[in-house]
Structure 1
Amino acid sequence: MVEFVFPEGTKIDETVPEKARRMYQRFYIGPLERGFGYTLGNSLRRVLLSSMEGSAIVGVKIDDVPHEFSSIEGVRDDVAMIILYLKRVRLKIIGDKDFVRAEIKVDNTKGDAPKVVRAGDIQGSVEVENKDQYITEVMPKYKFRCELFIAKGRGYVPAERVQFMFDLPAGTIPIDAIFNPIVKVNYEVRTTMYQERADYDELVLDIWSDGTITPQEAYEKSIDLLIEHFEALKNYVERGKYERERKDIKVSTIEELLKRDIEDLNLPRKAYEVLKSHNINTVYDLVKKTEKDLLALPNLGRRSLKEIRETLLRANLDLGMTDEQIQQKIMEEKKEK
C-alpha cells in the first residue's frame, strides 16, 4: 500500500513583526503530496473570505432623522455620508451576545470650533479597532446623538435583508453589513524537498485581517470548520439511514406531536442542529417561533426555513402560532374524530 505524505504541521513566519501579527501573518504548510497545495490553499482561502464570523453595524437611529436622505442641522455630513463612514468602522462585540446596542453622543453646544466625531466615540459593549475612523463633524452650538445596532454574522448582508433578519426598532435605518473580518488572502504553492525527493508541495498562505481577529485565530477556525464539514460527510450515510427508518413514525394527534422532540420531524441535519443549538427542542417550541425569529438565527437561511414550514404544514401546523390557534387546531381534530 502506497502511503500518503501528510503535512508535519504549520510554521509561522517569524520575520513578521510582533505588532503587525494582529493584522497580517504568513503560514507555511508542508510537506504535501503534489496537487494538495492547491487543494488546501483554495479551500482555506474560500472559507477565510466567506465563512469567518465577525461583527458589524447593522442599523443606526439618529435623533430627529426620519430617513437616510435627510440632512442634519449643525452637522457637516448628511445621513447618507454618515452611513457610508459607519460601514467602515471595524469592531467586535464584547461577550457572548449576538446583538447589542451602542451609542455616539457628542455635545458641542459650548464649543467655539467644530468637533470631529470618530469611531472611538462609540460607547457600548463593543471594542472598536479603527478608533480614528471619521464619522462626521459637529458645528459649535450643536450636539449629535445616534443609537447603533451591532450584530454578529458572516459574509455580506444587504440592508433590505438586515431589516428582516434583526429586530430593529421603528425609525432605525438599516445598513449594509460587512461581517467578514478577513480583508485579503493570498496563497502560493512551492516545490519543497522531503525524504530526498524534491517534488512535494509547500503551501504558503498570507492572511490579512481587519484587526478584530488575528490571522492565526482565523486560520485555526477555518481548519476547524473544514474538519467539521468533512466529519459530517463521513457520517452522512449513517444519518441518512437513521432518518429513513424514522419516517415511519406516526403520531396519533396534534397534541401528542407538539410534545415530541423536533428530531421526530426528520428535518434536514443542518436545520435540526441550528434549532437545537438555540434551545428549540420540541415541536411546540418550533411552532411558537415566527419566520423572522428563525431567519435571525445564524446559519439558517430561506431554504431551511422553507423545508421547516413544509414539514409543519404536512402535520397541519405552522410557524408563528399562538396558544389560541394551537388549541383551535386540537379541538378541530377532536371534532373530526
Structure 2
Amino acid sequence: MVSFIEGVEVIKDSLTSDYLRLIITPLYKGYGTTMGNVLRRILLSSIEGSKIIGFRMSDLPHEFTYVNGIKEDGPRIALNIRNLVVNLIGDYSIENPKSYVIRKVGPGFVSGSDIVEGEIIVINPEQVFLTMERDVEIEMEIFLAKGIGYKSAQVSKEAFSYPLNSIALDSYFSPVVKVNFQVEPTRVGREIDYDKLTLEIWTNKSINPWDTFIKAISILKDHLTIMENPKERVKDEKHKLILIQSLNLKKRVENLLLREGLLSVDKIIKKSRNDFMEMDGFGEKALEDLESKLHDIGMSLKEDINEA
C-alpha cells in the first residue's frame, strides 16, 4: 500500500491577475508528471467561463456584408466582438443567454466600454467592435452566456432561438489560456528520489488564477469519488453510478449540476426538492427536467422532511 508523504506543500510562488506559478512538493517519483498532466487537462478543458455567443446589429442582415458608414465589414465586427473578455454574473447559459443592447450615434467607436451593466464585468473595455465614420446610428444587441470548453455557432443556434438577423459566434469559454508544468527532483531528508511539481497557469483576467487551480482540484476529487470503493456497491444499485451526462438533461440543467459538484445519480438522489430550489438558478423548470429523467431510470429525489 502506498502512503502519502507527510508535509506536502502547495506554495504560491507568484500570483498576478492573469498568472499563477505554484510549487507542489515533495511528491513520490512519477507523481509529479501524473498530477501535472491531469491538472493541465482539467484546467484547459473544464473551467467555466463567460463569452459573447452572438449578436444582432441594425442594417447587418448576415455576417458576410457591410453597413454604410461603418469602417469594418461583418467578419471583422464578429471577430472584434469575439475578442471581448467578460465575466458574467448570474445563471446564464447558451440556452438562456443574457441580452444587452448598445445604442450609439457616430462618428466614433463602439467598444466594450459601452457595456454598462451590473451583471456584465468587462475585462478589456478598450476592445473596439466597430468604427462609425460619420453620423450613423447603431443599435447592437449582444448575447452572453456561461459555458465550458468550445461551443460552435451551430450548437448555439440549436440551443437558443435568436432574433431575426442575429449572428451566432463560435465560442471558447475557458478563461484559462495556457498551462505549463515542470517536474524536478527534490530531497526529503537524505532521500533525493522525489518530485517537485511547478505548475504555471495563465488566464484572460476574468478569473483569479488561484481560483482556477482550486476548481480543478475540486473537479478531479469529485470524479475520483465516483470510483471510490466500487466493490461495495451491489448489483441492483449499479444504476446509481450513472454520470449526469447520460441522463440527457437540458444543457442548462446539466451545467447547474456540474457547478454544484453533483456529477452522478447517487449524489443527486441524496438531495430533496427543497435542496435544489435553494440552489442559485435552479427553478421549477430545471427541477421538472431533472425529476423526469430520474423517473425514466426508476429513481427519485430524497423526500422533503416536511412532506414525510
Q: TM-score, normalised by structure 2?
A: 0.76
Q: Select which of 47, 61, 68 maps to 1:73.
A: 68
Q: Select which of 198, 218, 225 maps to 1:224.
A: 218
For residue 122 of structure 1, what is the aligned residue in structure 2?
115
Q: Quick check: 1:105–1:145 contact (8 Å CA) kept in 2? A: yes
Matched residue of 2:228: which SS?
Answer: helix
For residue 59 of structure 2, what is the aligned residue in structure 1?
64
Between the two structures, name the one with larger relative contact order (CA 8 Å, sep ≥ 6). 2
Distance across 2 between alignment mates of 1:281 and 1:239: 27
* Percent identity of paired positions between Structure 1 and Structure 2: 33
Q: Select which of 189, 200, 208 maps to 2:202.
A: 208
Aligned length: 262
1:209-265 Cα offsets, whole Å, 9 max, x none, are 000001100000000000000001116555663435x8xxxxxxxxxxxxxxxxxxx
Structure 1 residue 267: Cα displacement: 9.3
Structure 1 residue 78: Cα displacement: 1.1
Distance across 1 between alignment mates of 2:51 and 2:2: 49
Q: Quick check: 1:104–1:123 contact (8 Å CA) kept in 2? A: no
Q: Select which of 260, 274, 292 maps to 1:286.
A: 292
Structure 1 residue 286: Cα displacement: 3.4
Distance across 2 between alignment mates of 1:3 and 1:118: 55
Distance across 2 between alignment mates of 1:240 and 1:72: 65
Matched residue of 2:70: which SS?
Answer: coil
Matched residue of 2:147: which SS?
Answer: strand
CA 1:123–1:70 in structure 2 vs 1: closer, same or farther (change >3 Å)? farther
Distance across 2 between alignment mates of 1:217 and 1:121: 28
- Pair 1:106 & 2:104 matched: yes
Task: Say which one has the larger Rg.
Answer: 1
Q: Select which of 62, 74, 87 maps to 1:92.
A: 87
Q: TM-score, normalised by structure 1?
A: 0.70
Matched residue of 1:5: which SS?
Answer: coil
Query: How large is the RMSD of aligned CA atoms in angstroms?
Result: 2.8
Q: Quick check: 1:158–1:177 contact (8 Å CA) kept in 2? A: yes
Distance across 2 between alignment mates of 1:33 and 1:267: 31
Mean Cα displacement is larger for which, 30-39 or 272-281?
272-281
Runs of 4+ off more than 4 Å: 235-240, 275-285
CA 1:170–1:37 in structure 2 vs 1: closer, same or farther (change >3 Å)? same
- Pair 1:268 & 2:242 matched: yes
Q: Select which of 39, 51, 58 maps to 2:34.
A: 39
Instruction: Specify every segment of 5 or more residues in structure 2 that has no aligned partner in the other structure, as ranges.
Output: 258-267, 269-275, 277-281, 299-308
Instruction: Specify every segment of 5 or more residues in structure 1 that has no aligned partner in the other structure, as ranges.
Output: 109-113, 247-265, 288-307, 316-337
